[in-house]
Amino acid sequence: MNIGVINESSKIENRAGLTPSSVSLLVEKGLTVYVQAGTGLKAGYTNEEYVAQGAKIVFTKDEVFGRSDIVLNISPLDEEECKLVKKDQILFGFHHLAVYRKCNIEELLKKKVTIIGYEIVQEENEVLPFIESLSEIAGQMCLAISGHYLQTSQGGRGVIIGGVVSVPPVTAVVVGSGVLAKSAIKSMLGAGAHTIALGRYMDRLRELEEITSGRLITLFASKYNLARMTKVADILIGAVLRPGERAPIMITKDMVTTMKKGSLIIDLAIDQGGCIETSRLTTLEQPTYVEEGIIHYCVPNITSSVSRTSTKVLSNLVASCLLEIGESGLEKCLRENKSLARGVYVFRGKIAKQNIAERFGLDYKDIFSSL
């Protein structure tokens, strides 16, 4: 079986699909790995390091797609990449199909592809292994981002997160109660911020209170409470995750207008459309903009800015999946590995997620009836 790793640097993506270490593991098991030249440079891995572990370097994206049974990408495929996809290929990556363009989905369906989204791979206990691992990184990054953009020189309120003697800490409001929210909450509490979480699942809010020993204030995410807490927030973190779906708008523009000038919004749900009405995509080169006097940080896949750590995490997770497919074939692997099967958006050209099919008005076929 041939595995291909594309270079995504043109999309301002710093992470790589595999590390040289994972390449060596796959090659040892008899798999062939094609790596596009320059793929790992932003994560600190040279072409020579990949070659030393058995990878074959190719020089165009077309070659990667042309030679591979499985193609690894990080960011969703763009229109040109969709055209390069070959019939019956397996595509691994953060696909976020809910925010794809319909014409791109239709093109991929015609090619009878199988699409597996890292973001919806889900274990029996509802843990999302890819999301949870990267959420740990994203939560820590929220702290660094907040500390930077709240500085006066960045147009922020000129406050320090943890406060000092006689000066109270900032108020951090986290919207959400899942894995993304949990990581952000832990980081903010750890830095000494007065932290408030709003969610709609009482069991999750109860769990958050327990793991933070009661230091976290929790509220039900009603419109009234969201509006009230938005007013007091120095840092507002949108961390609503609905696997495989577009994020719901939780914070309206009217709520944003009531925030203190120079406050900061970090929308961690921007990969799935954003959960704050005033959010729009930004990049690592231009990560922020100001609207209604509020700094907005809306970079998708923010873990790309710590590319080496993120690449190692993703590579460790996906390598085990690739080994299973290489050993037993795709269909047997999906029958035996229900967690991976839950991550299938499209199977052999048929949409396997009902919400995606309904969103785009396309046919749906249950993955488990196909195996």
User: Active-site residues: which are they?
Assistant: 96, 271
d(CA 242, CA 283): 23
The closest of 7, 6, 35 to 22, measured between CA atoms, is 35
- In angstroms, the Cα distances linking 252 to 256, 274, 346, 355 are 6, 11, 33, 24
For 47, the 3-state DSSP assignment is helix
Beta strands in the chain (DSSP E): 2-5, 32-36, 56-58, 70-72, 90-93, 114-117, 171-175, 194-199, 217-220, 235-238, 264-267, 288-291, 294-297, 344-347, 350-351
CB atoms within 10 A of CB 78: 14
d(CA 289, CA 297): 7
d(CA 270, CA 246): 9
DSSP 8-state class, residue 281: -
d(CA 204, CA 179): 10
- In angstroms, the Cα distances linking 67 to 37, 61, 85, 256 are 15, 10, 11, 49
Question: 267, 275 in Cβ contact below 8 A?
Answer: yes
d(CA 189, CA 187): 6
d(CA 226, CA 223): 5
- Kindly write down the DSSP assignment for every residue of 79-124, as one continuous string: HHHHHHPPTT-EEEE---GGGS-HHHHHHHHHTT-EEEEGGG---T
d(CA 281, CA 146): 18
d(CA 300, CA 206): 29
